[in-house]
Structure 1
Amino acid sequence: MHDLIPAPARVEGEGRCGFVLDEATTLTAGPGTEGTERWLRSTLGAAFGLPLAPGAVDAEGAASAPNTVELRVDPSLEPEGYRLGVSPTWGVRITGGSGAGVFWGAQTLRQLLGPEAFRRAPVGVSGPRGLAAMDIEDGPRFGWRGMMLDVARHFMPKEGVLRMLDLLAAHKLNVFHFHLTDDQGWRVEIERRPRLTEVGSWRARSKHGHRASELWDETPHGGFYTKDDIREIVAYAAERHIRVVPEIDIPGHSQAAISAYPELGNTDVVDTSALSVWDTWGVNPNVLAPTDNTLRFFEGVFEELLELFPADTSPFFHIGGDECPKDQWRQSPTAQARIAELGLADEDELQSWFIRHFDRWFADRGRRVIGWDEILEGGLAEGAAVTSWRGYGGGIAAAEAGHDVVMCPLQQVYLDYRQADGPDEPMPIAYVRTLEDVYRFEPVPPGLSEEAARHVMGTQANVWTEVMQNQDRVDYQVFPRLAAFAEVAWSRLPAPEERDFAGFEGRMTAHYARLDALGVAYRPPTGPKPWQRRPGVLGRPLEGPPPIA
């Protein structure tokens, strides 16, 4: 039985040795697979201390030696599909429908070679690594297999983002939803608006915990990505066939921007010059004013971001649209005048007008807008897609109206939610969502018509970082549940009640060893030890209890 995650569509094996990875192994890359060739040398080559020298090819471009890993593109396969064959006659052959398919096949090869293949550097002499003769045929169920990472509540340095992209790729996830702005911080450099990062990227104190009653300390928190950082992140993702979906959250969740540029707020209702970057969690009442000045301001922001996120790697721009309280608009003479001028019925339609403006603006530049399901309120912009987070309802309504949808309901795939009941879980919030709960998540809701179901582009897991102060805390919340989510997004699983969770748990035994090799501070399957619950050491397991002071 294989221990691959996500589970492939078909695995057939002969049980005898079909290939040995050693110092004589060569690597042959056909057209369109050069990126995967480089990746294999930087991962397998580095892990095993092997050169993986370029292999000889025959007159037709095929590998001519048996001890070869051969990479090919075959357009007759589905774009992200692949075939992986291991044979004593010709070695390892990975054929994909595109460069992406070849890359996913290479990820499977890495898993087959054991946890040692996931080390960052060789330790001692590895010796040859044998593989059984086998044939694998595989391809994804969904084209959108993603994870949203919030870096506004707690900033993750660039190196941590690059590491997370590697972890997404290892699980065959292909969308990185990059939540860059919120009330608690603005995280991307905009040259024409320098105060967005000079002022908007830092809050004066740090909150600990999720509840309103919990404590702050006076440690400032902040940080932002320079334009060069963003270019590096986008290029790194593209090499791993991951699309980056940047999010600039408007018209709500905007206090960081308003604190930097008070004229963006509803100045006829609130003294916005007194606002600072918000230092707590929840829904903030301060929202953008629906003025021409606001529209021009964010058009300028998006013009700079279009250059950082090219169309081939970022066809979608996420503009938030969630949790936008409309009390200030109800009180604002300026907002009410705008409603009357446009002939709108109410404040919900005013938000829809705001979203429609940017839908047209991005469409004119060859991009598509996507937003949280609140953008349905007041009428959905014609070309907009929806990330359905408040359950299935918004996604169902959007899909039945002919709009594309990404299913990410908080009840199933919010990975900041606690993983067990009781006091053992650090900073417990919201629902308990176990590994099995995530594994039994079904992205296409029952009862959706066949035509509407075609608008479900896929699914993503969301990671909000209010209680995740550092990389280890993110690891602890995300893993191992992201592995279960990845199988749901990639594999063609049966109905939730028919899924073999026991079999998945068995395969996870091997996968925990891979995560260990990668240094992932996952939640242990048996739960944290008492000393792992102390503030400051949550996440990566310690070797034993802390020393006595």
Structure 2
Amino acid sequence: MDLIPAPSRFRAGEGAFELRPDTGLHAAPGTERAARRLRAELGPATGLDLPPAAAPEGAIALELDPALGAEEYRIEAGAEGVRLTAGGGPGLAHAGQTLRQLLGPAAYRRAPLPGAEWRVPAVRIEDRPRFGWRGALLDVSRHFLPKADVLRFLDQLAAHKLNVLHLHLTDDQGWRIEIRRHPRLTEVGAWRERSMVGFRAADRRDDRPHGGYYTQDDLREIVAYAAERHITVVPEIDVPGHMQAAIAAYPELGNTDVVDTAALGVWTDWGVCENVLNVSDATLRFVEEVLEEVLEIFPSTFVHLGGDECPKDQWKASPAARARIEELGLADEDELQSWFIRHFDRWLAGRGRRLIGWDEILEGGLAPGAAVSSWRGYEGGVAAAKAGHDVVMCPEQHVYLDHRQAGGEDEPIPVGYVRTLEDVYRFEPVPPELDADAAAHVIGTQANIWTEFMDDARDVDYRAFPRLAAFAEVAWSDLPREPAARDWAGFEQRMAAHYGRLDALGVEYRRPEGPRPWQRRPGVLGRPNDNRPE
């Protein structure tokens, strides 16, 4: 049936159930929310009201089965009706997405097409996810995406049964979250004078101001919209590096004893910035005040605090930082960063939350309760899992979707490794060197979309899709652990149908034959890596 991601078990039957104007929706107790969502998703495309039905016969029926896991579901369809059964609301939502796929690509449109007929083929499907964390990172700091584009991206995640949006809200190039106690973070930090065009070696600028931010109510809306689709939004406030936008707003946050921080603006370059937070008590309290407001907005258990790419040169030159190292009895600047992260690990734990950070937080010693996003390869995740820490695998060599999709000159601003649709399909999140106990700490996997070279939603579409569909199957389906054993030909055949769904959703994906003329960026220098990653 060309389903993506592939279900655990599938059996086709004879005949089909036809949806008619009088077809009803039967919602058993506890499924009312799922019924509301199903009407909201199927109604615009089909033009059908799906009124409440008193009995499941001759209807679409929703029910709960406590024997199933929360995300586990079952679909039984035949000429007499369609029954969606799940262990909880998330499972019913996933069943609804599978039902949309069974109805055909037109089920993803926002208005009915003339003469459309709606049939659900007779099937029995049993399905559940491999990982509990099936995520995508969206970087809204390097290039701001308006709220409507974030909501649209959430719809795309839901359609592929992905359940975590990691929202990268702050970086050197822009601060995107309103903090009421510190208004200059958005008054100053949300705007930069210009942006680099392509990679830094081109020394090319657009001389156009760029910026924007989300109000706290905007973010509450995003969180609620995601929750309605059973997606968790994990916020990221990147500390102690990647903080020049904050330092530009509040110069006292920087290392004022070695840098004239009052002269700094929001960074207009891409790359790793040398300006990092100082380690004073006042700066710790500032970050705590930011996080207090973050926790009011985001109910997620995990809060991402970055911890990556923090150059230590300013700390090495700073008498205040050296004094802090001596005061705390630390060995060096790596341990100073570890102390900084450990402080917030304890702070978050005291409020019932958990810290997650990039794998650099392993350097100098990992905070006891912290989880790791393993981005520099598998190594950090392997070390963390073996030490009993939870891990989200997102190695840049495999699932950084800003990396180019082919080796040709037509790829827009070619960055990083060539990662084709097939490469992503063959990505395996759990490396073979982990034993069963350590592998259980790989709680999920995530594809990351960094937007230095994507300045609007069309660019994000092109880089993310169709590869995010392949990633969704890796994260959800019970595929062979050996990548070479996966049925690439079968997936490619199913993708031929899935392109029609992406078209109906309005996703401007990269087509198999290559970019369309308006998706190219001729003459804009990238940073390709021609090595083949292992």
Q: Tell me the TM-score range normalised by the shorter chain.
A: over 0.9
Q: Secondary structure at the match of 1:18?
A: strand
Task: Give the structure 1 partner of residue 51 of structure 2.
Answer: 53
- How far residue 333 of structure 1 moved from its aligned partner, in angstroms, is 0.5
Summarize the Cα distance change of 1:172–1:212 in structure 2 as closer, same or farther, 3 Å threshold: same
Aligned partners of 2:194, 2:16: CA distance in 1, in Å?
59
Quick check: 1:17–1:130 contact (8 Å CA) kept in 2?
A: no
- How far residue 133 of structure 1 moved from its aligned partner, in angstroms, is 1.4
Task: Give the structure 2 partner of residue 72 of structure 1.
Answer: 63
Q: Secondary structure at the match of 2:491?
A: helix
- How far residue 13 of structure 1 moved from its aligned partner, in angstroms, is 1.3
Aligned mate of 1:265, from 254, 260, 266: 254
Aligned partners of 2:378, 2:330: CA distance in 1, in Å?
28
- How far residue 490 of structure 1 moved from its aligned partner, in angstroms, is 0.1
Aligned partners of 1:189, 1:531: CA distance in 2, in Å?
34
Gaps of 5+ in 2: 524-534
Aligned mate of 2:375, from 389, 392, 405: 389
Aligned partners of 2:268, 2:444: CA distance in 1, in Å?
34
Aligned partners of 2:493, 2:119: CA distance in 1, in Å?
22
Q: Secondary structure at the match of 2:273?
A: coil
Q: Secondary structure at the match of 1:245?
A: strand
Aligned partners of 2:202, 2:520: CA distance in 1, in Å?
20
- How far residue 530 of structure 1 moved from its aligned partner, in angstroms, is 4.4
- How far residue 18 of structure 1 moved from its aligned partner, in angstroms, is 3.1
Task: Give the structure 1 partner of residue 85 of structure 2.
Answer: 95
Task: Give the structure 2 partner of residue 5 of structure 1.
Answer: 4
Task: Give the structure 2 partner of residue 540 of structure 1.
Answer: none
Quick check: 2:413–2:521 contact (8 Å CA) kept in 1?
A: no
Aligned partners of 1:341, 1:19: CA distance in 2, in Å?
73
Aligned mate of 2:441, from 445, 455, 462: 455
Q: TM-score, normalised by structure 1?
A: 0.94
Task: Give the structure 2 partner of residue 17 of structure 1.
Answer: 15
Aligned mate of 2:32, from 8, 31, 34: 34
1:527 aligns to 2:505 (yes or no): no
Aligned mate of 2:273, from 252, 264, 284: 284
Quick check: 2:392–2:443 contact (8 Å CA) kept in 1?
A: yes
Instruction: After the TM superposition, list the runs of 4 or more consecutive aligned residues in structure 1 that deviate by more than 3 angstroms.
Output: 529-532
Q: Deviations over 1:358-417 (max 9, x none)?
A: 000000000000000000000000000000000000000000000000000000000000
- How far residue 420 of structure 1 moved from its aligned partner, in angstroms, is 0.3
Q: TM-score, normalised by structure 2?
A: 0.96
Aligned mate of 2:169, from 165, 177, 180: 180
- How far residue 214 of structure 1 moved from its aligned partner, in angstroms, is 3.9
Aligned partners of 1:195, 1:529: CA distance in 2, in Å?
41
- Greater shift, 301-310 or 260-269, is seen at 301-310
Counterparts in 2 of 1:496-515, with a 5 A limit? Answer: 496-515=483-502
Aligned partners of 1:525, 1:422: CA distance in 2, in Å?
13
Aligned partners of 1:32, 1:261: CA distance in 2, in Å?
49
Aligned partners of 1:356, 1:239: CA distance in 2, in Å?
33
Identical-pair percentage: 68
Aligned partners of 2:268, 2:500: CA distance in 1, in Å?
38
Q: Write the letter of the residue equivalent to 1:27.
A: L
Q: Secondary structure at the match of 2:16?
A: strand
Quick check: 2:371–2:390 contact (8 Å CA) kept in 1?
A: yes
Q: Secondary structure at the match of 2:230?
A: coil
Quick check: 1:203–1:278 contact (8 Å CA) kept in 2?
A: yes
Aligned mate of 1:308, from 281, 285, 297: 297
Task: Give the structure 1 partner of residue 528 of structure 2.
Answer: none
Q: Write the letter of the residue equivalent to 2:28.
A: G
Quick check: 1:30–1:72 contact (8 Å CA) kept in 2?
A: yes
Q: Deviations over 1:202-238 (max 9, x none)?
A: 0001221123324102210000000110000000000
RMSD across aligned positions (CA)? 1.3
1:376 aligns to 2:369 (yes or no): no
- How far residue 41 of structure 1 moved from its aligned partner, in angstroms, is 1.2
Counterparts in 2 of 1:291-302, with a 5 A limit? Answer: 291-302=280-291
- How far residue 22 of structure 1 moved from its aligned partner, in angstroms, is 1.5
Aligned partners of 2:105, 2:122: CA distance in 1, in Å?
19
Aligned residue pairs: how many?
Answer: 523
Aligned partners of 2:255, 2:521: CA distance in 1, in Å?
43
Task: Give the structure 1 partner of residue 307 of structure 2.
Answer: 321
Aligned mate of 1:517, from 500, 504, 512: 504
Q: Secondary structure at the match of 2:344?
A: helix
Q: Write the letter of the residue equivalent to 1:37.
A: A
